[in-house]
Amino acid sequence: MNIVVGVTGGIAAYKAVNVIRGLVLAGHDVHVIPTEAALRFVGRPTLEAISRNPVHSDLYEGVAEVRHVAIGQAADLIVIAPATANTLAKLAHGLADDLLTNSVLASTAPVVVAPAMHTEMWQNPATVANIALLRERGITIVGPAVGQLTGSDSGPGRMSEPDDIVAAALAVVGPRDLAGKRILVTAGGTREALDPVRFIGNRSSGRQGVAIALAAAARGADVTLIAANLEVQAPASLAVQHVSSTLELEAAARAAAANADVVIMAAAIADYRPETVADEKIKKEKQGDTLQLTLVKNPDILHGLAHSRPAGQVVIGFAAETEPDRDALLAIGAAKAARKGVDFLVVNRVGWSEGFGAVGNAVMVLSGAGDIVSESAGSKAVVADAILDLLA
Ligand code: CTP
């Protein structure tokens, strides 16, 4: 898809780089149009390097190519992130005094804007009226989120997270092939408390699970995300339940799975938990040079869900393995798929520098019988869509 990304002059312009990156990684041809003010916050070489295309901002350059209308006419989608109060006002009133606003005016493509400004500006009656007008005309408004602003203040006005903007933007033009499906996704890694300040955990960031939840929502699904200690922000656009331990995740997942069409267990679950949790901080003086911990087995949530599922429910598990040999990895995956009783098992390699926390991923999806049904690699958003393609 040919996507125009407009970047306007707010401090959140530096985060626009990740919006551009997300769209490029999702396989799109991205053309960035910064305003002059945006270029004070982020440099043209950065925008060119990330978008992999030349970046134009001047209305009076390339006049022979009639650039001020050509870019907008060629666009399949326009995303403006961040969108300042000033640019929103211009869009609402059809003003066109720079390359970006000309391009929007000359385009029939869907427009998605991610406002970013201080709370007072966002709540100003002028902005409120402009936003209402834009919404009425079918422009999609993403956010803003509530949170820390540029200064010491916080409130509504912070630009939505780049991944949320990418997902919302692609949802506007993407397939709605999961419309009406209720999908439960678990993400993150469970933690088992040792004492009030310590836990046993794992390095799962939750990125892949969140990417799946966002992609499923973008494709029309009604998503519940059970989030265990995410390293990334939980998307504000989704119904999120926060849990920490395996037993908490089990209780939440059982309840949510009862009326789900699909269960996707992307969370990394602690297989064992301490037999006892100390009420007070464990002290070195009392322990000496070694500390013995007794761990007891946690329930296998996926196995339990797969074996007690309502008729017609699809259950997908994950297997993060350190096995370097592909055939051996496949054999482990096939055995795990059968043992767990899942319809699909998403197998990926993890290691000190692979998988957990990484931006990209590479997976093989096995059927319940252990056959490879799909392979994909790329950003976690690309991998998420590949898994959902299978489901759809
Ligand atoms: N899983 C689960 N409950 C557990 C352990 C794992 O629901 N107690 C789920 C994970 O969410 C994942 C799948 O099972 O979808 C595979 O997890 P993994 O840790 O690879 O499998 P284990 O059964 O723990 O096997 P291993 O001995 O290889 O760790």
For the chain, what are the domain ranges? 2-173, 182-391
pLDDT higher for 90 or 167? 90
pLDDT tens digits for range 142-158: 999 988 887 778 888 99
Per-residue pLDDT of 248-270, as tens digits, reads 999 999 999 999 999 999 999 99
pLDDT of residue 357: 67
Percent of the chain with pLDDT over 90: 79
Q: Which numbered atom of ligand 1 lies nearest the CA of 321?
A: 20
Residue 263: CB within 6 Å of ligand 1? no
**182-391 maps to which CATH number?**
3.40.50.10300
Tokens of 348: 């990926």
Say which CATH architecture domain 2-173 belongs to: 3-Layer(aba) Sandwich (3.40)
> Which ligand 1 atom sits closest to the C-alpha of 345?
15
- Residue 154 forms beta bridges with which residues? 148
In short, whether 226's Cβ falls inside 6 Å of ligand 1 is no
What is residue 271's predicted lDDT score, i.e. its pLDDT? 97
Q: Is 2 a catalytic residue?
A: no
**Cα 343 to ligand 1 centroid, rounded to whole Å:** 15
| pLDDT at 367 (0 to 100) | 97
Model pLDDT for residues 315-366, shown as the tens digit of each residue:
999 999 999 999 999 999 999 999 999 999 999 988 776 667 666 789 999 9
349 close to 323: Cβ distance less than 8 angstroms: yes
**222 CA from centroid of ligand 1 (Å):** 25
The pTM (predicted TM-score) of the whole model is 0.77
Q: Which tokens sit at 270?
A: 């602690």
Compare 201 and 286 and report the one with higher pLDDT.
Answer: 201
Extract the tokens encoding 288: 């000496």
Closest CA to ligand 1's atom 18: 319
Question: How many C-beta atoms surround the C-beta of residue 35 within 10 A?
Answer: 25
Catalytic, out of 86, 102, 130, 202: 202
- Whether 267 lines ligand 1, by a CB cut-off of 6 Å, is yes
Question: Tokens standing for 122?
Answer: 């966002």
Q: Specify the ligand 1 atom closest to the Cα of 298.
A: 8
222: Cβ below 6 Å to ligand 1?
no
Angle at 23 between CA 165 and CA 133, to 5 degrees: 40
Q: For residue range 95-145, list pLDDT tens digits in order.
A: 999 999 999 999 999 999 999 999 999 999 999 999 999 999 999 999 999
Residue 198 — pLDDT band, cuts 50, 70, 90? very high
Whether the upstream peptide bond of residue 235 has omega within 30° of 0, thus cis, is: no
**10 CB within 6 A, ligand 1:** no
| Ligand 1: residue whose CA is nearest its atom 8 | 300
Task: Tell me whether the CATH fold assigned to 2-173 matches the one assigned to 182-391.
Answer: yes
